[in-house]
C-alpha cells in the first residue's frame, strides 16, 4: 500500500484545503526548486571590481562576445550534469543563481570561485589563453562551490588535494557529459585548449597519466604524481593541493576505466555520494576518502559487485589504503 508519508501528507492536505477554503489562504504547494539554471554573466572590463557590468541574463540570446557566451554555456553545462546525473539543483542544491564575471583584470592567468561567484581571466596569451575555453575548467571552479556547500574540505595538504581532485573529477565529468563520451572516449585532460600555442603541452593536468600534461621551458614540467610513491611534500601551493590531487584523480580514472560506460553513472555517483553523504570530514586524508568510496560503492551497487571491486583495486593501485 502507499507509504506512511504519503498517507500523512494526504491527510495534511485535506485538512489544509478545508482550512484554506474557510480562510481563503493560497493553496498549499510543495516547495519547488527550478530545474532551470538562473545565470547572469558580467563583464569586469579588465578591472578587479566584481561583479562588473551585467552583459547576459538567463534566457537571453548569445551576444558578440564569445567569452561571455562560453561562460554562459559552461555554467549551463555544469547545472545540467549536477541536475541530471545527481539530482542536485545548482551549487547549493537549492537552486543558487549562478553568476560569473569574465575579462577579470588584465592578462589574468587564472579562473576561480570566490565563495559567491565565478571569475574568469583572459590569460596573458603567452602561457594561457581565455579561461572560459575549457568547459572542464568552468566545471572545476563551480565544483569548488559544491564542495564549499557540502564536505567543505580544508584547502591545505591532503584535504586540499581532495578538494582540488573533486573539482577535477566533476569538471571532467561535465565535459564528458556535454560531449556524450564514455570513459574510454574521454581524454581525461583538465584544461585542454587552454595552453598558448607556444607552450609545449596539451593541458593543465591529466587524470589518466598525471605528470604528462606539459613539459615546457616557461611552465616547467607537470609535477603531478599518480601514486603515493611519488607523493610530493611541499609547503607551496597550500601544501601541494594542485600537485598531489593527481593521486585521487588517477584513482577515479582507474575506477571509471574499469567499469566503462558513462563515468558519471557509476564512478561519479560513488564520488558524489561521498562528497555529499555527510561522513567526509573537512580535514580528511586520502585514506579516509578512499574508505568512504568503498562503503559508498557497497551501499549503492551492492557487496560483491564489480563496482566495489573496481574501487578497491583502484586505491590499491595508487597506494592509498582502504
Q: Would residue 164 show up in a list of annotated catalytic residues for this protein?
A: no
Whole-number minimum distance, CB 274 to ligand ASN, in Å?
20
Whole-number minimum distance, CB 191 to ligand ASN, in Å?
9
Q: Would residue 141 show up in a list of annotated catalytic residues for this protein?
A: yes
Residues between 112 and 131 that touch ligand ASN (CB under 6 A): 112
Asked if 191 and 134 count as a contact pair (C-beta separation under 8 A), the reply is yes
Whole-number minimum distance, CB 143 to ligand ASN, in Å?
9
Quick one: which of 197, 214, 222, 17 has its CA closest to 125? 197
Asked if 181 and 256 count as a contact pair (C-beta separation under 8 A), the reply is no
The CA distances from residue 93 to 28, 35, 229, 281, 304, in Å, are 22, 11, 37, 19, 32
Q: What is the DSSP letter of 264?
A: T
Burial of 134 (0-12, 13-18, 19+ CB in 10 A): buried
Return the SS3 of 168.
helix
Beta strands in the chain (DSSP E): 39-43, 53-57, 98-102, 111-113, 118-120, 189-190, 205-206, 215-216, 220-221
Q: Which of 242, 250, 262, 307 is catalytic?
A: 242
112 binds, among Zn ion, ligand ASN, none (CB under 5 to 8 A by kind): ligand ASN
Contact pattern from residue 127 through residue 166 relative to ligand ASN, giving x for each residue in contact according to CB under 6 A and a dash for the rest = -------------xx--x-------------------x--
Whole-number minimum distance, CB 162 to Zn ion, in Å?
11
Residues between 125 and 184 that touch Zn ion (CB under 5 A): 167
Binding flag, residue 288, ligand ASN (CB under 6 A): no
Scanning 22-30, 44-52, 106-114, 174-182 for contacts with ligand ASN by CB under 6 A, the matching segment is: 106-114
Scanning 24-32, 47-55, 87-95, 108-116 for contacts with ligand ASN by CB under 6 A, the matching segment is: 108-116
Q: Which of 89, 140, 141, 164 is catalytic?
A: 141
- Measured from the CB atom, the residue of 71 and 311 that comes closer to ligand ASN is 71
User: In whole angstroms, what is the distance from residue 275 CA to residue 178 CA?
Assistant: 22
User: In whole angstroms, what is the distance from residue 282 CA to residue 288 CA?
Assistant: 11
- Measured from the CB atom, the residue of 69 and 148 that comes closer to Zn ion is 148
Q: What is the DSSP annotation of 112-136?
A: EE-SSSEEE----SSSB--TTS-HH
Query: Which residues are known catalytic residues?
Result: 141, 242
Binding site for ligand ASN (CB under 6 A): 110-112, 140-141, 144, 164
Binding site for Zn ion (CB under 5 A): 167
Amino acid at each position: 500500500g502507499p507509504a506512511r508519508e504519503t498517507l500523512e501528507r494526504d491527510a495534511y492536505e485535506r485538512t489544509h484545503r478545508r482550512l484554506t477554503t474557510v480562510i481563503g489562504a493560497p493553496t498549499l504547494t510543495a516547495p519547488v526548486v527550478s530545474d532551470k539554471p538562473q545565470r547572469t554573466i558580467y563583464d569586469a572590463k579588465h578591472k578587479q571590481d566584481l561583479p562588473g557590468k551585467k552583459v547576459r541574463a538567463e534566457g537571453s540570446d548569445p551576444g558578440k562576445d564569445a567569452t561571455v557566451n562560453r561562460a554562459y554555456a559552461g555554467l549551463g553545462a555544469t547545472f545540467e550534469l549536477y541536475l541530471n546525473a545527481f539530482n542536485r539543483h545548482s551549487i547549493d542544491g537549492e537552486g543558487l543563481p549562478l553568476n560569473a564575471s569574465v575579462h577579470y583584470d588584465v592578462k589574468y592567468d587564472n579562473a576561480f570561485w570566490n565563495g559567491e561567484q565565478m571569475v574568469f581571466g583572459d590569460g596573458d596569451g603567452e602561457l594561457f589563453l581565455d579561461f572560459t575555453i575549457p568547459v572542464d575548467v568552468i566545471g572545476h571552479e563551480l565544483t569548488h562551490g559544491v564542495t564549499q556547500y557540502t564536505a567543505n574540505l580544508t584547502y591545505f595538504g591532503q584535504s586540499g588535494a581532495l578538494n582540488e581532485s573533486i573539482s577535477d573529477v566533476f569538471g571532467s565529468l561535465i565535459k564528458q557529459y556535454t560531449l556524450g563520451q564514455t570513459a574510454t572516449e574521454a581524454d581525461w585532460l583538465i584544461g585542454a585548449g587552454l595552453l598558448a600555442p607556444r607552450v609545449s603541452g596539451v593541458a593543465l593536468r591529466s587524470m589518466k597519466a598525471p605528470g604528462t600534461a606539459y613539459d615546457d621551458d616557461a611552465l616547467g614540467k607537470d609535477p603531478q604524481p599518480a601514486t603515493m610513491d611519488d607523493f610530493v611534500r611541499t609547503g607551496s601551493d597550500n601544501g601541494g593541493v594542485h600537485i598531489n590531487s593527481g593521486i585521487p584523480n588517477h584513482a577515479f580514472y582507474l575506477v571509471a576505466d574499469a567499469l566503462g560506460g558513462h563515468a558519471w553513472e557509476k564512478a561519479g555517483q560513488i564520488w558524489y555520494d561521498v562528497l555529499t553523504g555527510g561522513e567526509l570530514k573537512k580535514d580528511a586524508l586520502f585514506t579516509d576518502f578512499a574508505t568512504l568510496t568503498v562503503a559508498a560503492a557497497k551501499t549503492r551497487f551492492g557487496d560483491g559487485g564489480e563496482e566495489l571491486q573496481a574501487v578497491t583495486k583502484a586505491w590499491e593501485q595508487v597506494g592509498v589504503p582502504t
